[in-house]
Structure 1
Amino acid sequence: MIGRITNQQQLVSAQRNVQTSRALLSQLQEQAATGRAVTKPSDDPSATASIMRVHAQQRATEQYGTNISDGTAWLATVDDALSSSEDILRKVRDLTLRGANEGTMTPATRSAIAGELEGLKSDLLEKANTTYLGRTVFAGSSSAGTAFAATPAPYTFTGAAGATVQRRINDSETVRVDVDGAAAFGTGTGSVFALIDNIVTDLTAGTDLSARIGQLDTHVSALTTQHGVVGTRYSRLQQAAQSNLTQSTALEAQRAGLEDVDPAKAIIDLKSQEVTYQTALGVTARALQPTLLSYLQ
């Protein structure tokens, strides 16, 4: 036996259909307004989880990009300081060679060369204490403010031994962005600064400077070696920057595929649903018009 469908049942069914149509219309309106396919987790729990994962990856990638930029700036500062230091030390070597030519040296000439050497030493010390954003680039993570102190002990290296400055460039790799000042310039009485002092003393006293040339060459070699290391790290950061950009682009495409709506499709779907909703309202209104018979039933 087939049961009779009452007006009340028809009303409930019609209301349910209208509410469903209205809810879908509201969802499509929100999607069109925001440009997002998923505006709240209940829209699509599975897609929401994927979107959250992509967002987390994007935040990490953005931070790596910041680290890479900062590390690149650090190494660019170090590179400039080392280039200038090498130039200064070559000038020191040239002056030392002139000073070693005792046959043409007069006291006035020696004094003039000694003065130039003192000035170059000050310039070199300034380069060794180069900073980036208030941090000394040759002193590791030290907060001393300078890498080398001229007083009280001669040219003491104030850097933090073994405490390097690292920048994470991806989830599995870091790159060192500072340089060991002790390896680049030497320390204490074995530093290049102390060597220049010794050259000045020998020059003033008329002592043979031939042996100092080889010592200077050793320090030039040390600077050149550290410069090469910096170049390798800088190249790695350039590669990392390109990879980071590629990863960022891929993640944004992935996010858009999960989260964004096609504007044209969203408008078409919205207009279609508006027609459906208006039709549902019209049909329901006509089908459920109250009559005297309806009340009697």
Structure 2
Amino acid sequence: MRVTQSMLSNNMLRNLTSSYSKMGKLNDQLTTGKKVNRPSDDPVVAMRGLGYRMQVDKVVQYQRNIGEVNNWLDSTDDALDKVGQALHRTKELVTNAANSGAMTDADREKIKSELDQLRQQIQDTANTKVGDKYIFSGTKTNSPLHDKTITPPSTEPNGYPDLTDPNNAAFTSDININVFDGVELNVNSKSAELFKEIDDMFKSFNDPDVDFGAAIGKVDGMMDELLTERADVGARQNRAELMNDRLETQELISTKQMSMNEDIDFEKVITEMISQESVHRAALSVGARIIQPSLVDFLR
């Protein structure tokens, strides 16, 4: 086959274009630090990268969910702690009132007045909110557990919903938050019945014939139930912490896989860039010799 000057020139230009393209690709990799800057660079790496990136994003979302779980559980534990403090004070007052030899009727009325304030404090605690959601109202997060504006027959006289009514089943329903694939954590405390029982106990203190000696046992019983509820909340807090540790590990693993798939080895790419520049200079040098002769050169 006869090789003409135009064929040599075209081949030279094609090879130079290819060389420029390779250097451009290497330059893009050095600039971005990524092996692939468009799917056409390496479809397999690009598809794997999408999968790893989705995994990282999923883990980040689960970590945000864990933050919401901790917010609910920490607020619940704090509220129940305040109830416990109120019950401790209640026991002190009831024990003093049970001392018939040292207490006058006027003293007992003062104690009843403070007990009534403690009752109202616990009622307010029953309506604790996280953001705009009531945390002790089950799935009826828009409704307060204790509502002083509602009167019978809708609720009990003490302002708490009638939990034996099927229409109020939502007040004792679970709220679950997804924290991993197929894993949910219960974040609310179904303490509606406990708050109602505590309020009934305080209501009995207003009875003119109340036996404060027997009331000490009632207070102890409420404190035991409260401790049981707090232990359950604490167990869920520990599990949430374990899940958070697992998610942090998963984030590291997913990020490492994504980096190994996408990130370049700078030393390797720089070496390739230098080698390609040398090849390109050699091609330019040879090309200059190929296109140098002209018709005038042959006529000399």
- The question of a shared fold, defined as TM-score above 0.5 by the shorter chain, is answered with yes
Give the alignment partner of residue 156 of structure 1, picking from 160, 180, 184: 160
Query: Could you tell me which residue of structure 2 aligns to residue 197 of structure 1?
Result: 203
Query: Could you tell me which residue of structure 2 aligns to residue 101 of structure 1?
Result: 99
Structure 1 residue 258, shift from structure 2 partner: 1.1
Show CA shifts across 1:176-221 (max 9, x none).
Answer: 11111324323xxxx211210211x23xx25323333333333222
- Alignment of 1:73 with 2:71, yes or no, is yes
TM-score by length of 1: 0.89
Secondary structure, counterpart of 2:170 in structure 1: coil
Structure 1 residue 253, shift from structure 2 partner: 1.1
Give the alignment partner of residue 181 of structure 2, picking from 167, 171, 176: 171
8 Å contact from structure 1 (residues 185, 222) kept in 2: no
* Aligned amino acid, residue 195 of structure 1: M
Query: Could you tell me which residue of structure 2 aligns to residue 221 of structure 1?
Result: 224
8 Å contact from structure 1 (residues 147, 181) kept in 2: no
Return the alpha-carbon distance in structure 1 between the equivalents of residues 297 and 159 of structure 2: 105
Query: Could you tell me which residue of structure 2 aligns to residue 242 of structure 1?
Result: 245
Query: Could you tell me which residue of structure 2 aligns to residue 270 of structure 1?
Result: 273
TM-score by length of 2: 0.88
Structure 1 residue 295, shift from structure 2 partner: 9.7
8 Å contact from structure 2 (residues 90, 118) kept in 1: yes
8 Å contact from structure 1 (residues 183, 222) kept in 2: no
* Aligned residues between the structures: 287
Give the alignment partner of residue 62 of structure 2, picking from 64, 73, 84: 64
Return the alpha-carbon distance in structure 2 between the equivalents of residues 179 and 240 of structure 1: 19
My pick for the range that moved more, 105-114 or 90-99, is 90-99
Percent identity over paired residues: 29
Return the alpha-carbon distance in structure 2 between the equivalents of residues 126 and 280 of structure 1: 84
Secondary structure, counterpart of 1:178 in structure 2: coil
The 1:38/1:295 distance shift into structure 2, 3 A limit, reads farther
Secondary structure, counterpart of 1:174 in structure 2: strand
* Aligned amino acid, residue 27 of structure 2: Q
Secondary structure, counterpart of 2:184 in structure 1: strand
Structure 1 residue 82, shift from structure 2 partner: 0.9
Give the alignment partner of residue 16 of structure 1, picking from 14, 21, 25: 14
The CA RMSD measured in Å over matched residues stands at 2.2
Return the alpha-carbon distance in structure 2 between the equivalents of residues 290 and 181 of structure 1: 96
Query: Could you list the runs of 5+ residues in structure 1 that have no partner in the other structure?
Result: none
Show CA shifts across 1:240-282 (max 9, x none).
Answer: 1111111111111111111111233333322322222232122
1:32-47 maps to which residues of 2 (within 5 A)?
32-47=30-45
The 1:130/1:289 distance shift into structure 2, 3 A limit, reads same
